[in-house]
Amino acid sequence: MVHRCAPGHFSGSSRKYADRVVLVVLPTCAKIATVEDLHTLALAQVSKAMGTAPLTHEVLGQWTVLGWPDTDSTNSRAMSALRSAPKGSLDHFVLHVNHQTSGRGQQQRTWTATPEDLAMTLILEQKLPASAPFSLNLAVSLAVVEAIEDVIPEIQSKDLLIKWPNDIMLKGSKAGGILIENSWRGNAWSSAVIGIGLNLSGHAPFPNATRLLHDGRPPGNTGATLRRAILLHAGRRLSEMEHPESLLRHYHQRLFGWGQPQRWQLDGQEVRGVLESIDIEGRLCVNSKGTQQCFAPGEVGWLGLEPL
């Protein structure tokens, strides 16, 4: 903190001299936090939430990137840090670990990560597009698939797709996912915690999952390289959130099952139809027997593609 004296303020008293009244004005000094002070406070709150100081600390463009050996859930720890850190001080912070024991996916599914995987959480507090919240999902999903293509060039674009709303699919099997948890204060979007988990070369966590590295080589520095690539692509894509229509157009080009007949589950009932589009609000729009139905993220569960 630095001490700066603000202009004088009326003390609430006055003195009378002859034909005039003089207000007593006293200087007021206040503590004003600098950017460096807020950053230090933010680091302290993140360390407290994680239970220990980070082992690695890197600055990559706008991102402050902090690493630990392990934790239960980087998203949960980020949410805890947000509750105690000064407002806005954790914007563009990134938490990553080698081993995550209780990661969370969509609809409260668990997702663990080993050193052969990638587990990271991005924190945003500023310039969140409250008028088009789904544009954040569009930007991050696109950033992840673009980064994977850069770092693992043997993966072809046609094989690497996004299953609505934000599962990462490789040749029809899940290779990772994204979990975005938002906090609102009234109509103001206060913060977003964005968990990204990718299965690099570890054992596929469930039968319909896969891994990104298939040639038997250990991940080596692939995880660190991929993490940096995601952040670089995310920085560019996040700057495009003011134009969600453009992001949505690119998202459709990477959309798994677009134009194909599929099955979903809604309140225990099966919904069959062709995936027509995703709208700007993030709803899945399905043509079922000539009638269009649209469903919000989390409202329906995916059951699979119909056989062609």
What CATH number is associated with residue 292? 2.30.30
What are the CA-CA distances from residue 204 to residues 112, 116, 162, 201 (Å)?
Answer: 11, 11, 18, 8
CA distance 290 to 282: 21
24 and 69 within one domain: no
> What's the domain count of the chain?
3
41 and 26 within one domain: no
| 126 half-sphere exposure, CB direction, 13 A CA radius | 11
In tens digits, what is the pLDDT along the chain, a chain of 308 residues? 444 444 444 444 444 444 444 444 445 555 556 778 889 999 999 999 999 999 999 999 999 999 999 999 999 999 999 999 999 999 999 999 999 887 766 545 555 566 678 999 999 999 999 999 999 999 999 999 999 999 999 999 999 999 999 999 999 999 999 999 999 988 899 999 999 999 998 666 666 889 999 766 566 789 999 999 999 999 999 999 999 999 999 999 999 999 999 999 999 999 999 999 999 999 999 999 899 999 999 999 999 999 87
Report DSSP letters for 102-129, one per residue: EEE-GGG-EEEE-TTEEEEEEEE-SS--
pLDDT score recorded for residue 94: 98
Dihedrals phi, psi of 299, to nearest 5 degrees: -80, -35
pLDDT score recorded for residue 219: 64
CA distance 235 to 46: 22
106 and 26 within one domain: no
pLDDT score recorded for residue 60: 96
pLDDT score recorded for residue 45: 96
Q: What is the pTM (predicted TM-score) of this model?
A: 0.85
283 and 182 within one domain: no
What's the CATH code of the domain at 223?
A: 3.30.930.10
59 and 12 within one domain: no
128 and 155 within one domain: yes
Omega within 30 of 0 (cis) for the link into 133: no
79 and 116 within one domain: yes
Per DSSP, the three-state class of 3 is strand
86 and 198 within one domain: yes
83 and 6 within one domain: no
Sign of the torsion formed by the C-alpha atoms of 162, 164, 165 and 167: negative
265 and 127 within one domain: no
pLDDT score recorded for residue 11: 43
pLDDT score recorded for residue 36: 82
Percent helix / strand / coil, the chain, rounded to 5: 25, 45, 30
Provide the greatest CA pair distance for the chain: 99
What are the CA-CA distances from residue 253 to residues 138, 208, 231, 258 (Å)?
Answer: 12, 23, 21, 9
Range of the domain at 15: 2-32
277 and 177 within one domain: no
pLDDT score recorded for residue 300: 95
196 and 172 within one domain: yes
CA distance 208 to 129: 34
The single-letter DSSP state of residue 15 is: E
